[in-house]
Amino acid sequence: MSARAGGRGYVERTIDTLIEALEHSRAAERATASPGLLQRLDPRVKVAGLLGLVAATVLSANLATIAAILILAIAAALGSRLRLAHLAAGVWGEVLVFTGAMALPALFLTPGRPAFHLPLVAWPVTEQGLRTAGLLLLRVETAATLGVLLVFTTPWTHVLKALRVFHVPVVFVVVLGMTYRYGLLLLETARDLYEAQRSRTVFRPRGVARARVAAAHAAVLLSKSLALSGEVYLAMQSRGFRGEVHVLDDFRMTRRDWVALSSFAVLTIAAVWAGR
């Protein structure tokens, strides 16, 4: 194995993750401009409708009801011209890994009738444990899919403005908006910092030297982020920003939006009733 192929350490893998996150964000911004099903709706309708379905998913204790909401979300994603492969790799796979790790103990610790025993260790997996783990996985997968639908079909500034229409506190909206934008800026800064260092290095550091380089990068990034946060705050204050989100586009409800809002309301009520 070559030194380049086998010498990829934590820093290199982290940078690759940063680049993937940036591409994910750019893909979301491109998807919001597509002439899809959800892109044509008023942002307030999407925020109210999709978050209502998320609440119905969380409250539901019926696997069939949650599965029906997930199928509906997949159909909406197809109608909005979103790539299912991207959802599978970027959302469903990650949720399966992290939520599956939390749901795994429920297979063995939930009391009930044994469904089967694991080979070698002979640990009993109960039917109640399978249902509990399946309910948790399906619930999180569905809620994550609905959240991605909102972000991938609505410009971020419109989401923030819609939240203010529903009287979400200004502090929460400002923190949410700044975290999103400032996080992307930090990702780009970290990537540029690493690429600049790698382009000027003949031999890659190893062992303790590599750890020192990583620590130096973290320190520089922290100092740059602190300085930049102060500059951004002063710039926003000098331009009159006081917490409210203002966009050039005015929200106007059309007949299509009212029909969609009514459909979301009916689906949410039906899901809550069926999931009891």
What is the tens place of the pLDDT at every residue in 30-86?
677 677 888 889 999 999 999 999 999 999 888 899 999 999 999 998 988 888 877
Q: What is the predicted pLDDT for the residue at 260?
A: 92
d(CA 222, CA 188): 14
Task: Categorize the per-residue pLDDT at 202 as very low, low, confident or very high, splitting at 50, 70 and 90.
Answer: low
For residues 77 and 55, give the distance between their C-alpha atoms in angstroms, rounded to a whole number.
Answer: 19
Burial of 201 (0-12, 13-18, 19+ CB in 10 A): exposed
- Tokens 């102060």 found at: 230
pLDDT of residue 235: 77
Q: Between 10-32 and 208-238, two packed helices, what is the crossing angle to 10 degrees? A: 30
Nearest by Cα to 188 from 1, 35, 3, 23: 23
Q: What is the pLDDT of residue 255?
A: 92
Reported as a pLDDT band with limits 50, 70 and 90, residue 6 is: very low
pLDDT of 5 higher than 50: no
| 7: pLDDT strictly greater than 50 | no
The DSSP result for 1-12, as a single string, is --HHHH---HHH
- Written as six digits, the tokens of 147 are 């959240």
Q: What is the mean pLDDT of residues 228-236?
A: 75
Question: Measuring CA to CA, which residue among 32, 17, 19 is closest to residue 148?
Answer: 32
Q: Which two tokens stand for residue 238?
A: 């000098």
Arithmetic mean of pLDDT, 122-146: 85
Residue whose pair of structure tokens reads 């926003």 in the numeric block: 236
Q: Is 191 within 8 Å of 23 (Cβ atoms)?
A: no
Q: Is residue 115 classed as helix, strand or coil in its secondary structure?
A: strand
Instruction: Using alpha carbons only, give the angle 253, 87, 269 rounded to the nearest 5 degrees.
Output: 45
pLDDT at 4: 42
**pLDDT tens by residue, 211-220:** 777 777 778 7
pLDDT for the residue 185: 73
Nearest Cα residue to 171 out of 183, 181, 163: 163
Rounded to whole angstroms, the Cα distance separating 189 from 15 reads: 11
Alpha-carbon span 134 to 130, nearest angstrom: 6
149 contacts 73 by C-beta, under 8 angstroms: yes
Res. 263 pLDDT band, cuts 50 70 90: very high
Kindly state the percentage of the chain with pLDDT values over 70.
Answer: 80
Answer for the pair 134, 63: CB distance below 8 angstroms, yes or no: yes
pLDDT at 54: 93
Tokens 């086998």 sit on residue:
6
* Residue 153 near residue 47 (C-beta atoms within 8 A): no
Above 60 in pLDDT, residue 2?
no
Question: Helix (H, G, I), strand (E, B), or coil: what is residue 125?
Answer: strand
**What pLDDT is attached to residue 10?**
57
Euclidean distance between CA atoms 174 and 187, whole angstroms: 20
Give mean pLDDT, residues 204-230. 74
| DSSP H or E segment with residue 15 | helix 10-32
DSSP β-bridge partners for residue 125? 116
Q: Two tokens at 40?
A: 């044509």
22-32 average pLDDT score: 66
pLDDT bin (cut points 50, 70, 90) of residue 23 is low
